[in-house]
């Protein structure tokens, strides 16, 4: 049996003459100044997501050079290649729509181009899941290196970190307690360095999940973007990838297993991470035939304490988390609940990792112990009930405790446009005890499941001092947001789920203790409403938008495409 081709001979273009294809490829490679010695080495592809439309990744050129140093020092040839980048706030309708497009590009470029292993460079929210989804499907040895969180800014004596503080100041601006001059000052002080949001938002959550899954060098997920250790981690990742190019492993399917996915869920709950991570982890796991069971998720949540005191639900920032002990501190806090046999890209098992001595003591100001947690139960739960028969997600750690058991009258918005047009209408019939409901903002909607679940408090209530209300939608919420917000309602309104049948004045009951969300309307009455469901936006009729609408799966299956999940 012939040995699998390596390096530049990997995946030769088919002209019907293999020797000609090799000769032609080397000829074109030599036009870039490579020597025969370089072209004979194993190749490490470096999948980079630098873009002028991605502020979080503006330091990637320097990181890329560090990765290349590591690859070269370990005896392999580094070859960078770009893929689609997803700058969270620069994309319309939303970055989630393009996550699958990026995942497809990552998978196909890893497969199509001659590389023996690949370094995945991402950071801003959807880039990390897209990289992991694509690499899982491509099946070549891969290691992830992330952008790292940005440092905090300063404003009038307090620290600021994008984007939790941006929401707080914007809410105050809407309430009239912050004026135009101050909001303009804050605008320039929220994001002051390269890197991802400075709080436990989606980017930081996904970095920790990537490390927990074993796809990253241990201890590197939370290093700040501007720290010298971030460059050292990039160099070490390059050296590791060179070794993986020679040995042929491990491949993602050996690391992303049912057990490591459960470990990742434990970490998500213990750090009170982003609700988006439930969608992304379902998509990553689904590429390898692993489903996330919501009942099991709730069982894990009820026995996994929140250990991390960080914004948006605590007081610290990611730079504090890193110096407090980072992921190692969290893993030690839940050590008895983890699957100890799971391995990482270095070959280290979870058991081995937990047995290593820590370089510094864990700072309990930001990472608590299991016997003195921030909260004795996990930060997120799944809800089911007559309003969400197939599930919904609530970040209970970010909620107002008094609203976790609540029944109220629905105030319904049929779309994002309807929300924008009426939420601040002084004549809107709404009180603080009501429940705001947004329809038609799920995966199949024209809005593409935006981070619109954080419905604004109606201005007339905000000016009365109302800070939170129960809000329900089939949309998502930024990991940097907070509030009593029910998300990812499935089936979504666009496919005729019960959410589409809610009308103004209906009673809805939320019970976090029962993990339920129910529409208190007689089924016979709901049956009469079905024919009256308004037609949604005109379906996309071409290009990627059509592919997305025709193929996207519900939130419970990660919003991946049906033809990309493992079958």
Q: Could you read off the pLDDT of 67-109 as tens digits, one per residue?
A: 999 999 999 999 999 999 999 999 999 999 999 999 999 999 9
Among the three residues 336, 355, 374, which one is the final residue of a domain in this structure? 355
pLDDT at 541 (0 to 100)? 83
Q: What angle do CA 130, 378, 215 make, to 5 degrees?
A: 30
pLDDT in tens, 342-384: 999 999 999 999 999 998 999 999 999 999 999 999 999 999 9
pLDDT at 1 over 50: no
Cis peptide before 202 (omega within 30 of 0): no
pLDDT in tens, 45-71: 999 999 999 999 999 999 999 999 999
User: How would you class 312 by CB atoms within 10 Å of its CB: exposed for 0-12, middle for 13-18, buried for 19 or more?
Assistant: buried
**In a shared domain, residues 22 and 75:** no
pLDDT at 535 over 90: no
Rounded CA-CA distance 437/238 in Å is 48
**518-531 exposure pattern, b = at least 16 Cβ within 10 A, e = fewer:** bbebeeeebeeeee
Report yes or no: 234 and 70 within 8 Å, Cβ to Cβ.
yes
pLDDT at 164 (0 to 100)? 82
In a domain, 178, yes or no: yes
In a domain, 373, yes or no: no
Instruction: Provide the mean pLDDT of the chain.
Output: 95
Using pLDDT thresholds of 50, 70 and 90, give the confidence band for residue 538. low
pLDDT in tens, 325-340: 999 999 999 999 999 9
Q: What letter would DSSP give residue 498?
A: G
User: Measured in Å, how far apart are the chain's first and last C-alpha atoms?
Assistant: 29
**In a shared domain, residues 182 and 209:** no
**In a shared domain, residues 390 and 267:** no
pLDDT at 3 over 80: no
pLDDT-above-70 percentage for the chain:
98
pLDDT at 537 (0 to 100)? 56
Provide the strand spans (E) within 65-157: 77-82, 117-122, 142-146, 153-155
Report yes or no: 181 and 106 within 8 Å, Cβ to Cβ.
no
Cis peptide before 414 (omega within 30 of 0): no
pLDDT at 531 over 80: no
pLDDT at 167 (0 to 100)? 87
Sequence-ordered list of residues with C-beta below 8 angstroms from that of 194, at least 6 positions apart, any chain? 55, 56, 57, 58, 59, 147, 150, 225, 226
**In a shared domain, residues 421 and 544:** yes
pLDDT at 359 (0 to 100)? 87
pLDDT at 386 (0 to 100)? 98
Sequence-ordered list of residues with C-beta below 8 angstroms from that of 126, at least 6 positions apart, any chain? 86, 88, 95, 96, 98, 99, 102, 202, 280
Segment 262-278 shows an average pLDDT of 97
For residue 2, give its domain range.
Answer: 1-40
pLDDT-above-90 percentage for the chain:
93
**In a shared domain, residues 305 and 444:** no
SS3 readout for 310-360: ECCCCCECHHHHHHHCHHHHHHHHCHHHCCCCCECCCCCEHHHHHHCCCCC
- What domain count does the chain have? 4
> How far is residue 6 CA from its own chain's centroid?
34
Q: In this structure, what are the phi and psi dihedrals at residue 487, rounded to the nearest 5 degrees?
A: -125, 170
pLDDT at 2 over 60: no
**In a shared domain, residues 247 and 350:** yes
**In a shared domain, residues 412 and 488:** yes
**In a shared domain, residues 144 and 34:** no
């Amino acid at each position: 049996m012939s040995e699998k081709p390596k390096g530049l001979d990997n995946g030769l273009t088919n002209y019907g003459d293999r020797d000609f294809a090799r000769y032609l490829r080397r000829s074109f490679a030599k036009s870039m100044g490579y020597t025969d010695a370089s072209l004979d080495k194993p190749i490490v592809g470096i999948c980079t997501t630098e873009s002028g439309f991605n502020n979080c990744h503006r330091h990637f050129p320097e990181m890329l050079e560090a990765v290349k140093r590591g690859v070269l020092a370990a005896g392999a040839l580094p070859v960078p290649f770009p893929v689609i980048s997803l700058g969270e706030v620069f994309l319309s309708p939303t970055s989630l729509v393009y996550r699958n497009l990026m995942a497809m590009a990552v998978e196909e470029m890893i497969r199509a181009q001659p590389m023996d292993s690949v370094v995945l460079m991402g950071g801003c929210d959807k880039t990390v899941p897209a990289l992991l989804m694509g690499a899982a499907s491509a099946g070549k040895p891969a290691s992830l290196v992330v952008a790292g969180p940005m440092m905090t800014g300063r404003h009038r004596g307090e620290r600021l970190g994008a984007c939790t503080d941006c929401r707080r100041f914007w809410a105050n601006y809407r309430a009239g307690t912050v004026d135009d001059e101050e909001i303009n000052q804050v605008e320039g002080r929220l994001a002051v360095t390269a890197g991802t949001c400075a709080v436990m938002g989606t980017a930081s959550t996904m970095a920790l999940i990537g490390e927990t899954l074993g796809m990253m060098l241990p201890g590197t997920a939370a290093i700040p973007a501007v720290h010298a250790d971030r460059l050292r981690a990039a160099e070490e990742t390059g050296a590791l990838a060179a070794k993986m190019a020679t040995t042929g492993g491990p491949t993602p399917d050996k690391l992303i297993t049912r057990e490591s996915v459960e470990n990742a869920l434990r970490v998500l709950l213990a750090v009170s991470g982003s609700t988006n991570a439930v969608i992304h982890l379902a998509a990553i796991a689904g590429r390898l035939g692993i489903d996330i069971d919501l009942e099991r998720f709730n069982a894990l949540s009820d026995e996994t304490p929140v250990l991390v005191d960080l914004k948006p639900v605590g007081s610290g920032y990611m730079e504090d988390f890193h110096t407090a002990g980072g992921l190692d501190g969290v893993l030690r806090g839940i050590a008895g609940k983890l699957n100890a046999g799971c391995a990482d890209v270095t070959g280290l098992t979870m058991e081995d990792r937990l047995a290593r001595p820590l370089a510094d003591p864990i700072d309990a100001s930001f990472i608590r112990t299991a016997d003195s947690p921030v909260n004795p139960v996990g930060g997120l739960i799944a809800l089911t009930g007559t309003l969400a028969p197939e599930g919904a997600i609530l970040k209970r750690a970010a909620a107002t405790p008094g609203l976790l058991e609540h029944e109220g009258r629905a105030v319904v918005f049929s779309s994002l446009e309807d929300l924008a047009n009426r939420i601040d209408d002084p004549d809107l019939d709404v009180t603080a005890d009501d429940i705001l409901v947004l329809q038609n903002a799920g995966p199949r909607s024209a809005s593409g499941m935006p981070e619109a679940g954080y419905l604004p408090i109606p201005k007339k209530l905000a000016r009365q001092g109302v800070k939170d209300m129960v809000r329900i939608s089939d949309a998502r919420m930024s990991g940097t947001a907070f509030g009593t917000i029910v998300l990812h309602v499935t089936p979504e309104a666009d496919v005729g789920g019960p959410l589409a049948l809610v009308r103004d004045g209906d009673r809805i009951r939320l019970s976090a203790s029962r993990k339920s969300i129910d529409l208190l309307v007689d089924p016979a009455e709901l049956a009469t409403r079905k024919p009256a469901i308004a037609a949604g936006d005109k379906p996309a009729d071409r290009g990627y938008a059509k592919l997305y609408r025709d193929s996207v799966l519900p939130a419970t299956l990660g919003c991946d495409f049906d033809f990309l999940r493992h079958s």
